[in-house]
Amino acid sequence: MKLVIQTQIRENYGAHDWNGEGECPQYWKCKGGNTFVVRDLTVDQAMKVGQNGIPTLTALIEDRNEYFEEYILDWAIVDDDVVECEEWETPTEFVWRGDRWLAFCEQRAGEYDCWANGITLKAESWIPLKGGERAHYECHYYDSNNQLVEVA
């Protein structure tokens, strides 16, 4: 089984011209969202999530300020073979390692990417922190031979 989390991202266009004084103008526009996945859940883990929800992951994913917000729209425990997102989307995978969550995202080159010629894979990893912050972020690009590509 796996946990699939869907988010919504919104941007406050009213904050772009705000000088920081008084009340911030509100003009929120939806900007898509993200998909997060926790794979290989045991029955016990799935039951625990079903009973207690996902407060720790919520704290790591959600972020709100005057300019931007990302919040969880929905989450579900599903079978391993359930499609988690659209074909053109790239989910972020959360993995529990030792004493913390780690995040991984691997995006394959596709029709709408504008990467340098020869790059076929973008691999990102980080330690997710509260409020959507990231520590130890790394991003690497690879060619079709799975060789690391130096990007200037």
Q: What is the structure's pLDDT at 88?
A: 83
CB environment 101-133: b (16+ within 10 A), e (fewer): bebebeeebeeeeeeeeeebbbebbbebeeebe
pTM of the model: 0.88
CB of 22 within 8 A of CB of 93? no
pLDDT, one tens digit per residue, over 37-90 is: 999 999 999 999 988 999 999 999 999 998 999 999 999 999 999 999 988 889
pLDDT, one tens digit per residue, over 6-51 is: 999 999 998 888 888 888 888 899 999 999 999 999 999 999 998 8
Query: Domain extents for the chain?
Result: 2-16+25-149
Q: Which residue do the tokens 């130096």 mark? A: 150
Q: What is the structure's pLDDT at 150?
A: 83
